[in-house]
Structure 1
Amino acid sequence: MEICTIGFTKHSAQSFFELLTSEGVEQVVDVRLNNTGQLAGFAKRDDLRYLLNRLCGAEYLHEPELLAPTSDLLKAYRNDELTWDDYELRFLELMTHRRLEDKLSPEMFTTRTALLCSEHTAEHCHRRLIVDYLAIHWPDITALHLPRSADINL
């Protein structure tokens, strides 16, 4: 089963929604801790829910309790108190403590799903860590990080 991941930054609304549509995404799971701030632009929670439904026919879910970092962890990383490697290790510990593999179900992802965060690429984003973690615990999980390498200049 393939789980997509996408960040909204560096995308226009048009390129973002066209990318989701072209990949057949039917469900977007927002993994951001904060999803209502002005900097989110078209990706603010209520606007995003409406636009996903209208433009892509996709459902919107927000799962911060399970899939977002804690505010302390995010703040420490953003304030350069943690390196990416330290952040990655602590987020892995958090997912293990939360027991994602037991609290989520593979059936949640039978619909073509994209995990949404803000980072443009998945390299230094917790959405990649979530899919990697689930792939360890559930058979046949793969990730498709959007935009694909060839689409980076969208």
Structure 2
Amino acid sequence: MGVPLYTIGFTQTTAAHFFTRLKTAGVTKVIDIRLHNSSQLAGFAKSEDLAWFLKSLGGIDYAHHPLLAPTDDILKAFKKEKGDWGQFQSRFLNLMTERKVETRFKAEDFDGACLLCSEATPHHCHRRLLSEYLNDKWGQTLKVTHL
């Protein structure tokens, strides 16, 4: 059956749609994998506000794991310098390998959890890369759904 893991981005959506998707899916914990989670630009997804909204609106726990985020250098090369997606992907996956993230967590840690980042869709997003990386390392144990 697999360990259910969800992913979601908060941009280009309303708070109502964002929180409804989480509640409807049955998410029990949001794992914030943004490097910086306290920017005023994040709106309702600013770390302290997000943790309160999640608990109050859905009884959902919140954790921030920047270990699962790209470095500032990797982000800058891709976003600000309009870098190549293939290069971002390669650098991010190499970083996850260097950090050995698959040994620092277990699949069960992600049971019913949702990986959060800012990107509206998973196509060019590190949440998809991370979920695929972990699933590969853990023998396809995760049943990933992008919300």
TM-score under structure 2 normalisation?
Answer: 0.95
Are positions 1:27 and 2:29 aligned together? yes
CA distance in 2 between counterparts of 1:59 and 1:142 reads: 20
Q: Which runs of 5+ in 1 are unaligned?
A: 147-154
Matches within 5 A, 1:80-91: 80=81, 82-91=83-92
The number of residues matched between the two structures is 144
Q: Per the alignment, in what secondary structure is the counterpart of residue 123 of structure 2?
A: coil
Q: CA deviation at 1:30?
A: 0.2
Identity %: 47
Q: Per the alignment, in what secondary structure is the counterpart of residue 121 of structure 1?
A: coil
TM-score under structure 1 normalisation?
Answer: 0.90
| RMSD (Å) for aligned C-alpha atoms | 1.0
What is residue 120 of structure 1 aligned with on the other side? Answer: 120
Maintained 8 Å contact 1:7/1:117: yes
Q: Per the alignment, in what secondary structure is the counterpart of residue 90 of structure 2?
A: helix
What is residue 151 of structure 1 aligned with on the other side? Answer: none
Q: CA deviation at 1:81?
A: 5.2
Q: Which runs of 5+ in 2 are unaligned?
A: none
Q: Per the alignment, in what secondary structure is the counterpart of residue 143 of structure 1?
A: strand
Maintained 8 Å contact 1:26/1:59: yes
Q: CA deviation at 1:143?
A: 1.4
CA distance in 1 between counterparts of 2:82 and 2:21 reads: 34
* Residue-by-residue CA offset, 1:103-152 (whole Å, 9 max, x unaligned): 11112122x11000000100000000000000111132231011xxxxxx
